[in-house]
């Protein structure tokens, strides 16, 4: 074995397992001990321990009997937004402390059927609301590139665990950027598929019209392998897309018509929305993104100027629609059906009030209040309805762009990861930093973040790629071509 086990990504580990160079039990043991020595990162909220080793043994047997899939025996972990029957699920909230689901989320079940080994549950912002993982009720996650900085959010634990090489891959969810932004901040690869590609069944709901699951890993190739297993129609999610199972790995490898070995992206038109490169964009981010675009050009892509004129409006639109849906979704946490219940109360109303006052953190309360307000009689038309109309216009703007290009590119976030505590007292500052991920979310489009270099303080910078509906194959193909030509995605924090 030339490389330490934790250095291997999903595809590489799959080959090593297939060649019997290593067993799933060995990898699982190795990673469990790494997880134990990296507790200071705060990436995990629960670890599986012996149960993981049992799954690894079963995976090794399955491989020996010739029944393995590409993922059999690969250790991963799930964002603690996915419900699991074998481990507690908290959604990063005190409200669900100690909660155990009677069933597995569809994404969890499908990956389980493919034979992955689940090592545990990953820390995240409370109910996935946040961009820095500082809204977790348990502990803020630290960025492995600089433990004085945030890992991004809300899938901060998922990103930090992969970046610190505690796992080859993890699951995340993205409502307004929560896969792409932490992937960017931690120097890993993540894909948020088209709304409806992955089932939302068993994914604790934040904003149901926006929530999507996706994989986070080192490379586009590893993401493609995971996404193939996670995705697909599910009759238990009424917004699940009705289409046949997709082999995203095969789609990623599919050569483009007219392409050559040196020019794999020949004919691919990449649109650069001028609103994604504002004056206020940090120099370091701009520099890394421009260099990545030049690399894509070298690979044969053509860059074209496009416009998404309502980019700035996506912030107020999202921060009306998402809280509106959250206020409705979170009404189920009433202290009666499950989760936390206040220990002392007078009548029923008092029980509701005390339970929710104790169970929810400040950001969640803020959003419930905003959401309730914008939906209330007299304000609905002025805020919620207006936001819905603008949401449609934002989606239409993308369709106009896609007349001129196949993919859209830009930064994931306006800066690299900020210092822990920096935006803690200023929620609006954090909302503003979501500007480049929100438009694609509101339109329901697929998007990726891929490592594209480093900026201030040696922190990773991500390149965002957005595609039209169900163009995950094109996205993954372009990202893979970029990763074949560059090694940003292979860089790890010092000492790892
Ligand atoms: N940062 C955004 C928010 O706070 C997005 C979160 C997410 O995608 N779950 O809502």
Q: Which residue reads 């994914």 in tokens?
A: 203
Catalytic residue numbers, as ranges: 79, 154, 178
Contact 463, 292 (CB under 8 A): yes
Residue with tokens 């291997």: 8
Whole-number Å distance, alpha carbon 178 to ligand 1 midpoint, is: 5
Q: 424-456: per-residue pLDDT in tens?
A: 889 999 999 999 999 999 999 999 999 999 999
Cβ of 154 below 6 Å from ligand 1: yes
| Ligand 1 neighbourhood includes 175 CB (under 6 angstroms) | yes
Q: What is the pLDDT of residue 1?
A: 46
Atom of ligand 1 nearest to the CA of 434: 1
CA distance 320 to 209: 13
Asked if 406 and 269 touch (Cβ cutoff 8 Å), the reply is yes
pLDDT at 254: 97
Cis peptide bond prior to 37, omega within 30° of 0: no
314 lines ligand 1 (CB under 6 A): no
- CATH fold of 5-261+485-490 reads Amidase signature (AS) enzymes (3.90.1300)
CB count in 10 Å sphere of residue 353: 15
User: Is the beta carbon of 124 within 6 A of some atom in ligand 1?
Assistant: no
Structure tokens at 470: 């169900």
Beta bridge partners of residue 79, listed in sequence order = 122
Residues paired with residue 448 on neighbouring β-strands, in sequence order = 191, 465
- Kindly give the distance from the C-alpha atom of residue 67 to the centroid of ligand 1, in angstroms, as a whole number: 39
| Structure confidence at residue 338 (pLDDT) | 85
DSSP 3-state of 253? helix
Ligand 1 atom nearest to 207, measured from its CA: 9
SS3 103: coil
pTM of the model: 0.98
Q: Is the CB of 131 under 6 A from ligand 1?
A: yes
pLDDT score, position 2: 59
Q: Where are the domains of the chain?
A: 5-261+485-490
Low-confidence residues of the chain, pLDDT below 70?
Answer: 1-2
Kindly report, residue by residue over 351-372, the tens digit of the pLDDT.
999 999 999 999 999 999 999 9
Beta bridge partners of 190: 216, 449
CB distance 441 to 177 below 8 Å = yes
Give the ligand 1 atom nearest the CA of 177: 8
Ligand 1 centroid to residue 212 C-alpha, Å:
11
What token pair was written down for 490? 């292979």
Ligand 1 atom with minimal separation from the 430 CA: 1
Q: Are 113 and 120 in contact (CB under 8 A)?
A: no
């Amino acid at each position: 074995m030339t490389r330490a086990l934790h250095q291997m990504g999903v595809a590489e580990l799959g080959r090593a397992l297939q060649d019997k160079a290593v067993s799933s039990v060995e990898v699982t043991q190795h990673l469990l001990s790494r997880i134990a020595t990296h507790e200071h990162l705060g990436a995990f909220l629960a670890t599986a321990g012996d149960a993981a080793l049992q799954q690894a043994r079963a995976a090794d047997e399955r491989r020996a009997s010739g029944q393995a899939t590409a993922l059999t025996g690969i250790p991963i972990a799930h964002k603690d937004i996915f419900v699991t029957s074998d481990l507690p699920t908290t959604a990063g909230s005190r409200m669900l402390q100690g909660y155990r689901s009677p069933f597995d989320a569809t994404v969890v079940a499908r990956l389980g059927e493919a034979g992955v080994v689940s090592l545990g549950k990953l820390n995240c912002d409370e109910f996935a609301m946040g961009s820095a993982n500082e809204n977790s009720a348990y502990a803020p996650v630290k960025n492995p590139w600089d433990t004085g900085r945030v890992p991004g959010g809300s899938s901060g634990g998922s990103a930090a665990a992969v970046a610190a090489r505690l796992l080859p891959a993890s699951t995340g969810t993205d409502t307004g950027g929560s896969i792409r932004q932490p992937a960017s901040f931690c120097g890993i690869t993540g894909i948020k598929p088209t709304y409806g590609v992955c089932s939302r069944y068993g994914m604790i709901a934040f904003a149901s019209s926006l929530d999507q699951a996706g994989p986070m890993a080192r490379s586009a190739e590893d993401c493609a392998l995971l996404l193939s297993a996670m995705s697909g129609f599910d009759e238990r999610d009424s917004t699940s897309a009705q289409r046949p199972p997709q082999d995203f790995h095969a789609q990623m490898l599919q050569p483009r018509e007219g392409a050559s070995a040196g020019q794999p992206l020949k004919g691919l038109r990449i649109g650069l929305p001028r609103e994604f490169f504002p004056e206020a964009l940090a120099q370091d981010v701009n520099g890394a993104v421009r260099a990545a675009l030049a690399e894509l050009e070298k690979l044969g892509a053509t860059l074209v100027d496009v416009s998404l004129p309502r980019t700035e409006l996506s912030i107020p639109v999202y921060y009306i629609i998402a809280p509106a849906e959250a206020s409705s979704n979170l009404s189920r946490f009433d202290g009666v059906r499950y989760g936390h219940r206040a220990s002392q109360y007078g009548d029923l109303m008092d029980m509701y009030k005390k339970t929710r006052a104790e169970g929810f953190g400040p950001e969640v309360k803020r959003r419930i209040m905003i959401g309730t307000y914008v939906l209330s009689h007299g304000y609905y038309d002025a805020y919620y309805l207006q936001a819905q109309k603008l949401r449609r216009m934002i989606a239409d703007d993308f369709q106009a762009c896609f007349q001129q290009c196949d993919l859209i590119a830009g930064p994931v976030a306006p800066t690299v990861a900020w210092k822990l505590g920096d935006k803690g007292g200023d929620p609006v500052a954090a909302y503003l930093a979501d500007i480049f991920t929100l438009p694609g979310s509101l339109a329901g489009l697929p998007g990726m973040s891929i490592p594209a270099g480093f900026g201030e303080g040696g922190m990773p910078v991500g390149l965002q790629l957005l595609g039209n509906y169900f163009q995950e194959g094109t996205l993954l193909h372009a990202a893979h071509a970029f990763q074949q030509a560059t090694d940003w995605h292979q860089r790890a924090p010092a000492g790892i």
